[in-house]
Amino acid sequence: MCNLPDHPVHAGCTAVCAVMVGRTLVVANAGDSRAVMCRAGGLAEPLSFDHKPLQVGESGRTFGFNADPV
């Protein structure tokens, strides 16, 4: 939800996509969605992760584009 006074719209989007390519499962997420697979015995295994700009992998990728990560 955006609390800026000049931005009254309280909307957004989110998506998860999973595709089997041969024996490989490719998973992508956007927004506040995550993919989780349920294993035998009820064990949940995360398949997608939140990308925060200050995470080591993300900041390196972001700085590679000469962008400010914050």
Give 36-53 pLDDT, tens digit per residue: 999 989 999 999 877 676
Q: What is the pLDDT of residue 31?
A: 79
Q: What is the pLDDT of residue 27?
A: 92
- pTM of the shown model: 0.54
Q: What is the pLDDT of residue 6?
A: 72
Q: What is the pLDDT of residue 58?
A: 66
Tokens of 67: 């962008």
Could you tell me which of 54, 56, 57 has the C-alpha nearest to residue 68?
A: 54
Output the DSSP codes for the chain: ----TT--------EEEEEEETTEEEEEEESS---EEEPGGG-EEE-S----TTSHHHHHHHHHTT----
- Residues of the chain below pLDDT 50: none
